[in-house]
Amino acid sequence: MIVFVLLVFNSFQVKSQNEIVQFIKGGIGDGEKLIQAYLEPLGNGMGANINGGWYNTAKVHRTLGFDITFTITAAMVPESATSFDITGLGLKTLALKPGEPSVAPTFAGDIDRGPALIFVKEGMDLPLVEFNTPGGVDVPFYPMPMIKAGIGLPKGIEINGRFIPKISYEDMSTYLWGVGVKYDILQYFGLIDRVPFLNASLLGAYTKVNFSSDLDFQKSIYGSEIGGVPIEGGQLNYDNQRLDINMQGFTTSAIVSYDLPVITVFAGLGYSRAFTTVNLLGDYPLIGADINDDEVVIFIEDYANPVNLEFDNYSGLQTAAGLRLKLAVVTLHAKYTRANYNLITAGLGISIR
Protein backbone atom coordinates (compact mmCIF):
# COMPACT_ATOMS: atom_id res chain seq x y z
CA MET A 1 0.00 0.00 0.00
CA ILE A 2 2.80 2.40 0.89
CA VAL A 3 4.49 1.73 -2.47
CA PHE A 4 1.32 2.65 -4.40
CA VAL A 5 0.84 5.81 -2.38
CA LEU A 6 4.42 6.95 -2.84
CA LEU A 7 4.41 6.37 -6.60
CA VAL A 8 1.94 9.21 -7.00
CA PHE A 9 2.59 11.28 -3.92
CA ASN A 10 6.38 11.45 -4.33
CA SER A 11 5.79 13.08 -7.72
CA PHE A 12 3.31 15.37 -6.05
CA GLN A 13 5.84 16.30 -3.37
CA VAL A 14 8.47 17.25 -5.96
CA LYS A 15 5.96 19.37 -7.83
CA SER A 16 4.65 21.06 -4.71
CA GLN A 17 8.08 21.96 -3.37
CA ASN A 18 9.71 23.15 -6.56
CA GLU A 19 6.91 24.19 -8.89
CA ILE A 20 3.40 24.90 -7.58
CA VAL A 21 4.44 27.71 -5.26
CA GLN A 22 6.09 29.50 -8.19
CA PHE A 23 2.65 30.48 -9.48
CA ILE A 24 2.28 33.20 -6.84
CA LYS A 25 5.41 35.09 -7.95
CA GLY A 26 3.27 37.32 -10.16
CA GLY A 27 0.61 38.06 -7.54
CA ILE A 28 -1.83 36.12 -5.39
CA GLY A 29 -4.91 36.59 -7.57
CA ASP A 30 -3.29 35.24 -10.73
CA GLY A 31 -1.48 32.62 -8.69
CA GLU A 32 -4.75 31.14 -7.42
CA LYS A 33 -6.12 30.93 -10.97
CA LEU A 34 -3.03 29.11 -12.19
CA ILE A 35 -2.91 26.76 -9.20
CA GLN A 36 -6.54 25.76 -9.73
CA ALA A 37 -6.08 25.15 -13.45
CA TYR A 38 -2.90 23.15 -12.85
CA LEU A 39 -4.21 21.00 -9.97
CA GLU A 40 -7.76 20.42 -11.24
CA PRO A 41 -7.00 16.98 -12.74
CA LEU A 42 -5.44 15.86 -9.45
CA GLY A 43 -8.54 17.01 -7.58
CA ASN A 44 -10.87 15.37 -10.10
CA GLY A 45 -8.93 12.11 -10.13
CA MET A 46 -8.56 11.79 -6.38
CA GLY A 47 -12.12 13.04 -5.90
CA ALA A 48 -13.35 10.20 -8.11
CA ASN A 49 -11.18 7.73 -6.21
CA ILE A 50 -12.44 8.64 -2.76
CA ASN A 51 -16.06 8.38 -3.90
CA GLY A 52 -15.48 4.93 -5.40
CA GLY A 53 -14.63 1.54 -3.97
CA TRP A 54 -17.28 1.53 -1.24
CA TYR A 55 -19.11 -1.69 -2.15
CA ASN A 56 -18.84 -5.00 -3.97
CA THR A 57 -22.32 -6.32 -3.15
CA ALA A 58 -25.69 -4.94 -2.14
CA LYS A 59 -25.96 -7.59 0.54
CA VAL A 60 -25.78 -6.21 4.08
CA HIS A 61 -23.90 -8.09 6.77
CA ARG A 62 -26.03 -9.83 9.38
CA THR A 63 -25.60 -8.62 12.96
CA LEU A 64 -21.90 -8.74 13.88
CA GLY A 65 -20.97 -10.07 10.46
CA PHE A 66 -17.98 -8.22 9.07
CA ASP A 67 -15.49 -7.80 6.27
CA ILE A 68 -12.00 -6.39 5.93
CA THR A 69 -11.07 -5.54 2.35
CA PHE A 70 -7.96 -4.11 0.72
CA THR A 71 -9.05 -2.05 -2.28
CA ILE A 72 -7.26 -0.14 -5.00
CA THR A 73 -9.15 2.35 -7.16
CA ALA A 74 -7.56 3.95 -10.21
CA ALA A 75 -9.05 7.08 -11.80
CA MET A 76 -8.40 7.33 -15.52
CA VAL A 77 -7.35 10.81 -16.67
CA PRO A 78 -9.00 11.94 -19.94
CA GLU A 79 -6.82 13.53 -22.60
CA SER A 80 -8.73 16.80 -22.28
CA ALA A 81 -7.46 17.17 -18.70
CA THR A 82 -3.76 17.15 -19.58
CA SER A 83 -3.51 20.83 -20.58
CA PHE A 84 -5.16 24.22 -20.10
CA ASP A 85 -5.25 27.49 -22.04
CA ILE A 86 -3.65 30.34 -20.11
CA THR A 87 -5.49 32.99 -22.14
CA GLY A 88 -8.81 31.68 -20.80
CA LEU A 89 -7.93 32.33 -17.14
CA GLY A 90 -8.33 36.12 -17.18
CA LEU A 91 -4.89 36.85 -15.71
CA LYS A 92 -4.35 40.47 -14.63
CA THR A 93 -0.75 40.84 -13.46
CA LEU A 94 0.90 38.04 -15.42
CA ALA A 95 1.11 37.78 -19.21
CA LEU A 96 2.54 35.35 -21.71
CA LYS A 97 6.04 36.24 -22.83
CA PRO A 98 5.87 37.39 -26.47
CA GLY A 99 6.13 34.46 -28.85
CA GLU A 100 5.15 31.84 -26.26
CA PRO A 101 2.27 29.38 -26.86
CA SER A 102 -0.82 29.75 -24.68
CA VAL A 103 -1.36 26.06 -23.80
CA ALA A 104 0.30 24.74 -20.62
CA PRO A 105 0.40 21.24 -19.12
CA THR A 106 -1.64 20.42 -16.04
CA PHE A 107 -0.43 18.21 -13.21
CA ALA A 108 -1.58 15.27 -15.35
CA GLY A 109 0.11 16.56 -18.49
CA ASP A 110 3.44 16.26 -20.23
CA ILE A 111 6.61 16.43 -18.13
CA ASP A 112 8.09 19.24 -20.24
CA ARG A 113 7.75 22.74 -18.83
CA GLY A 114 5.09 25.04 -20.25
CA PRO A 115 5.17 28.56 -21.68
CA ALA A 116 6.98 31.46 -20.02
CA LEU A 117 5.01 34.06 -18.07
CA ILE A 118 6.21 37.55 -17.16
CA PHE A 119 5.17 40.10 -14.54
CA VAL A 120 5.75 43.65 -15.79
CA LYS A 121 4.89 46.55 -13.51
CA GLU A 122 3.12 49.43 -15.22
CA GLY A 123 5.66 52.12 -16.16
CA MET A 124 8.59 49.68 -16.20
CA ASP A 125 10.23 48.06 -19.18
CA LEU A 126 11.93 45.14 -17.46
CA PRO A 127 9.83 42.27 -16.07
CA LEU A 128 10.05 41.81 -12.32
CA VAL A 129 9.47 38.07 -12.72
CA GLU A 130 9.79 35.57 -15.51
CA PHE A 131 9.12 31.86 -15.10
CA ASN A 132 7.87 28.85 -17.02
CA THR A 133 4.77 26.99 -15.94
CA PRO A 134 5.67 23.54 -14.54
CA GLY A 135 5.39 20.30 -16.40
CA GLY A 136 3.15 17.49 -15.24
CA VAL A 137 3.79 13.94 -14.04
CA ASP A 138 2.53 12.36 -17.29
CA VAL A 139 0.65 9.60 -15.45
CA PRO A 140 -2.61 8.53 -17.18
CA PHE A 141 -4.20 7.23 -13.98
CA TYR A 142 -4.12 7.94 -10.24
CA PRO A 143 -4.07 4.88 -7.93
CA MET A 144 -5.59 5.13 -4.47
CA PRO A 145 -5.16 2.15 -2.12
CA MET A 146 -7.18 1.88 1.06
CA ILE A 147 -8.36 -0.56 3.70
CA LYS A 148 -12.13 -0.84 4.20
CA ALA A 149 -13.92 -2.58 7.03
CA GLY A 150 -17.64 -3.15 7.57
CA ILE A 151 -19.74 -4.57 10.38
CA GLY A 152 -23.39 -5.55 10.45
CA LEU A 153 -25.86 -4.12 12.98
CA PRO A 154 -29.50 -4.98 13.70
CA LYS A 155 -32.32 -3.72 11.46
CA GLY A 156 -30.42 -4.26 8.20
CA ILE A 157 -27.75 -1.65 8.88
CA GLU A 158 -24.08 -1.96 8.01
CA ILE A 159 -21.42 0.54 9.11
CA ASN A 160 -18.32 0.90 6.93
CA GLY A 161 -15.07 2.72 7.46
CA ARG A 162 -11.85 3.04 5.55
CA PHE A 163 -8.46 4.33 6.36
CA ILE A 164 -4.93 5.04 5.20
CA PRO A 165 -2.72 5.73 8.21
CA LYS A 166 -0.60 8.86 8.13
CA ILE A 167 2.40 8.20 5.91
CA SER A 168 5.36 10.58 6.09
CA TYR A 169 8.02 10.67 3.41
CA GLU A 170 10.81 13.23 3.50
CA ASP A 171 8.99 16.57 3.91
CA MET A 172 5.55 15.28 2.95
CA SER A 173 2.73 13.42 4.66
CA THR A 174 -0.69 12.07 3.67
CA TYR A 175 -3.61 10.30 5.30
CA LEU A 176 -7.19 9.27 4.47
CA TRP A 177 -10.30 8.34 6.39
CA GLY A 178 -13.94 7.76 5.52
CA VAL A 179 -17.22 6.48 6.94
CA GLY A 180 -20.29 5.05 5.24
CA VAL A 181 -23.65 3.42 6.01
CA LYS A 182 -25.34 0.72 3.91
CA TYR A 183 -29.00 -0.09 4.51
CA ASP A 184 -31.03 -3.08 3.33
CA ILE A 185 -34.16 -1.81 1.54
CA LEU A 186 -35.57 -5.16 0.35
CA GLN A 187 -36.83 -5.85 3.87
CA TYR A 188 -39.71 -3.47 3.10
CA PHE A 189 -40.77 -5.16 -0.15
CA GLY A 190 -42.51 -8.30 1.06
CA LEU A 191 -42.38 -11.02 -1.57
CA ILE A 192 -39.45 -9.44 -3.41
CA ASP A 193 -37.38 -9.85 -0.28
CA ARG A 194 -37.87 -13.61 -0.61
CA VAL A 195 -36.43 -13.86 -4.13
CA PRO A 196 -33.38 -16.15 -3.75
CA PHE A 197 -30.00 -14.42 -3.91
CA LEU A 198 -31.42 -10.97 -4.76
CA ASN A 199 -30.31 -8.01 -2.62
CA ALA A 200 -30.78 -4.26 -2.77
CA SER A 201 -29.50 -1.51 -0.51
CA LEU A 202 -28.79 2.19 -0.20
CA LEU A 203 -25.35 3.59 0.59
CA GLY A 204 -24.22 6.98 1.87
CA ALA A 205 -20.55 7.77 2.49
CA TYR A 206 -18.04 10.52 3.18
CA THR A 207 -14.24 10.47 2.66
CA LYS A 208 -11.45 12.95 3.35
CA VAL A 209 -7.85 12.81 2.15
CA ASN A 210 -5.05 15.22 3.05
CA PHE A 211 -1.68 15.96 1.45
CA SER A 212 0.83 18.19 3.21
CA SER A 213 4.28 19.23 2.06
CA ASP A 214 6.88 21.62 3.43
CA LEU A 215 7.97 24.37 1.03
CA ASP A 216 11.14 26.37 0.50
CA PHE A 217 10.28 29.66 -1.24
CA GLN A 218 12.99 32.22 -0.41
CA LYS A 219 13.46 35.80 -1.62
CA SER A 220 16.72 34.76 -3.27
CA ILE A 221 14.59 33.33 -6.08
CA TYR A 222 14.27 36.88 -7.43
CA GLY A 223 18.00 37.61 -7.34
CA SER A 224 19.62 40.59 -5.68
CA GLU A 225 18.74 43.20 -8.33
CA ILE A 226 16.68 43.78 -11.45
CA GLY A 227 18.03 46.02 -14.20
CA GLY A 228 20.63 47.42 -11.83
CA VAL A 229 18.04 48.29 -9.17
CA PRO A 230 18.65 46.46 -5.86
CA ILE A 231 15.81 44.49 -4.31
CA GLU A 232 15.08 45.73 -0.79
CA GLY A 233 13.36 44.26 2.27
CA GLY A 234 12.18 40.79 3.20
CA GLN A 235 13.20 38.34 5.88
CA LEU A 236 16.54 36.58 5.95
CA ASN A 237 14.86 33.18 6.00
CA TYR A 238 11.32 31.86 5.49
CA ASP A 239 11.08 28.59 7.38
CA ASN A 240 7.37 28.13 8.17
CA GLN A 241 5.96 27.43 4.70
CA ARG A 242 3.63 24.51 3.99
CA LEU A 243 1.26 23.42 1.25
CA ASP A 244 -1.94 21.73 2.45
CA ILE A 245 -4.38 20.12 0.04
CA ASN A 246 -7.59 18.60 1.36
CA MET A 247 -10.05 16.66 -0.77
CA GLN A 248 -13.51 15.68 0.44
CA GLY A 249 -16.04 13.43 -1.23
CA PHE A 250 -19.71 12.63 -0.63
CA THR A 251 -21.52 9.82 -2.41
CA THR A 252 -24.88 8.09 -2.30
CA SER A 253 -25.81 4.98 -4.28
CA ALA A 254 -28.65 2.58 -4.86
CA ILE A 255 -27.12 -0.89 -5.20
CA VAL A 256 -28.53 -4.16 -6.47
CA SER A 257 -26.79 -7.52 -6.57
CA TYR A 258 -27.42 -11.16 -7.31
CA ASP A 259 -25.39 -13.10 -4.75
CA LEU A 260 -24.88 -16.72 -5.76
CA PRO A 261 -22.81 -18.95 -3.45
CA VAL A 262 -19.56 -18.23 -5.33
CA ILE A 263 -20.26 -15.43 -7.83
CA THR A 264 -21.90 -12.06 -7.20
CA VAL A 265 -22.97 -9.69 -9.93
CA PHE A 266 -23.63 -6.16 -8.71
CA ALA A 267 -24.46 -2.71 -10.06
CA GLY A 268 -25.06 0.72 -8.63
CA LEU A 269 -26.45 4.12 -9.57
CA GLY A 270 -25.67 7.13 -7.45
CA TYR A 271 -24.72 10.76 -7.02
CA SER A 272 -21.32 11.99 -5.94
CA ARG A 273 -19.66 15.29 -5.15
CA ALA A 274 -16.02 16.11 -4.49
CA PHE A 275 -14.20 19.36 -3.79
CA THR A 276 -10.65 20.46 -3.05
CA THR A 277 -9.13 23.12 -0.81
CA VAL A 278 -5.59 24.39 -1.37
CA ASN A 279 -3.80 26.42 1.30
CA LEU A 280 -0.36 27.98 1.24
CA LEU A 281 0.45 28.44 4.92
CA GLY A 282 3.22 30.52 6.44
CA ASP A 283 5.03 33.65 5.20
CA TYR A 284 5.96 34.20 1.55
CA PRO A 285 8.08 36.91 -0.12
CA LEU A 286 6.36 38.56 -3.09
CA ILE A 287 8.07 41.15 -5.22
CA GLY A 288 6.71 44.63 -5.94
CA ALA A 289 7.85 47.96 -7.36
CA ASP A 290 7.04 51.67 -7.16
CA ILE A 291 8.18 54.67 -9.14
CA ASN A 292 8.96 57.70 -6.96
CA ASP A 293 10.15 60.89 -8.70
CA ASP A 294 11.13 58.83 -11.73
CA GLU A 295 13.19 56.53 -9.52
CA VAL A 296 12.30 52.84 -9.46
CA VAL A 297 12.13 51.12 -6.09
CA ILE A 298 11.92 47.32 -6.03
CA PHE A 299 11.02 45.63 -2.77
CA ILE A 300 9.95 42.40 -1.10
CA GLU A 301 6.62 42.35 0.70
CA ASP A 302 5.76 39.48 3.05
CA TYR A 303 2.36 37.80 2.84
CA ALA A 304 1.02 35.42 5.48
CA ASN A 305 -1.13 32.46 4.34
CA PRO A 306 -1.53 33.97 0.86
CA VAL A 307 -3.60 31.24 -0.84
CA ASN A 308 -6.89 29.87 0.50
CA LEU A 309 -8.55 28.28 -2.50
CA GLU A 310 -11.59 26.01 -2.75
CA PHE A 311 -13.01 24.54 -5.95
CA ASP A 312 -15.52 21.85 -6.86
CA ASN A 313 -14.19 18.84 -8.71
CA TYR A 314 -17.37 17.04 -9.72
CA SER A 315 -21.03 16.86 -8.86
CA GLY A 316 -23.20 14.42 -10.74
CA LEU A 317 -24.34 10.89 -11.43
CA GLN A 318 -22.12 7.84 -11.47
CA THR A 319 -22.90 4.27 -12.50
CA ALA A 320 -20.99 1.13 -11.61
CA ALA A 321 -21.02 -2.60 -12.35
CA GLY A 322 -18.80 -5.44 -11.21
CA LEU A 323 -18.20 -9.04 -10.22
CA ARG A 324 -17.18 -10.65 -6.96
CA LEU A 325 -15.90 -14.15 -6.24
CA LYS A 326 -16.22 -15.61 -2.77
CA LEU A 327 -14.21 -18.69 -1.88
CA ALA A 328 -15.11 -19.69 1.69
CA VAL A 329 -14.45 -16.41 3.53
CA VAL A 330 -12.05 -14.90 0.95
CA THR A 331 -13.43 -12.43 -1.61
CA LEU A 332 -12.01 -11.07 -4.85
CA HIS A 333 -13.79 -8.31 -6.73
CA ALA A 334 -13.45 -5.97 -9.69
CA LYS A 335 -15.63 -3.02 -10.63
CA TYR A 336 -15.89 -0.37 -13.33
CA THR A 337 -17.39 3.02 -12.49
CA ARG A 338 -18.43 5.60 -15.04
CA ALA A 339 -18.19 9.21 -13.82
CA ASN A 340 -16.29 12.35 -14.82
CA TYR A 341 -13.09 10.33 -14.39
CA ASN A 342 -13.86 6.67 -14.95
CA LEU A 343 -12.65 4.26 -12.27
CA ILE A 344 -11.31 0.73 -12.22
CA THR A 345 -11.48 -0.92 -8.80
CA ALA A 346 -10.01 -4.21 -7.58
CA GLY A 347 -9.98 -5.70 -4.12
CA LEU A 348 -9.12 -8.65 -1.91
CA GLY A 349 -10.84 -9.27 1.40
CA ILE A 350 -12.26 -11.51 4.09
CA SER A 351 -16.02 -11.53 4.62
CA ILE A 352 -17.98 -13.40 7.31
CA ARG A 353 -21.78 -13.54 7.67
Residue 246 has pLDDT above 80, yes or no: yes
Summarised one tens digit per residue, pLDDT across range 251-291 is 999 999 999 999 999 999 999 999 999 999 999 999 988 87
CB atoms within 10 A of CB 200: 18
pLDDT for the residue 155: 93
Q: What proportion of the chain, given as a percentage, has pLDDT over 70? A: 94
Say how many domains are in the chain. Answer: 1
Q: State phi, psi for 306 to the nearest 5 degrees.
A: -70, -25
Closest by CA position to 107, among listed 84, 91, 129: 84
Provide the 10 A C-beta neighbour count for residue 166: 10
HSE of 238, CA atoms in CB hemisphere, 13 A: 25
Task: Tell me the average pLDDT of the chain.
Answer: 88
Check pLDDT > 80 for residue 225.
yes
Interacting residues of 50 by C-beta distance below 8 A, sequence separation 6+: 144, 176, 178, 207, 208, 209, 247, 248, 249, 274
User: Is the pLDDT score of 2 beyond 60?
Assistant: no
| Residue-wise pLDDT tens digits, 335-350 | 999 988 899 999 999 9
Domain hosting 296: range is 2-352
Sequence-separated (6 or more) residues with CB below 8 Å from residue 178? 50, 146, 161, 162, 163, 205, 206, 207, 208, 249
Give the number of other CB atoms < 10 A from CB of residue 202. 16
Q: Read off the CATH number of the domain in which 162 is found.
A: 2.40.160.20
Between 308 and 12, residue with greater pLDDT: 308
Residue 33's pLDDT band, with cuts at 50, 70 and 90, is: very high
* pLDDT digits 0-9 by tens, 139-153: 788 888 888 999 999
- Average pLDDT for 314-337: 92
Could you tell me the strand order of the sheet in which 94-96 lies?
A: 94-96, 116-119, 129-132
Residue 9 has pLDDT above 80, yes or no: no
pLDDT confidence of residue 353: 83
136-190 pLDDT per residue, tens:
888 788 888 888 999 999 999 999 999 888 888 777 788 889 999 999 999 888 7
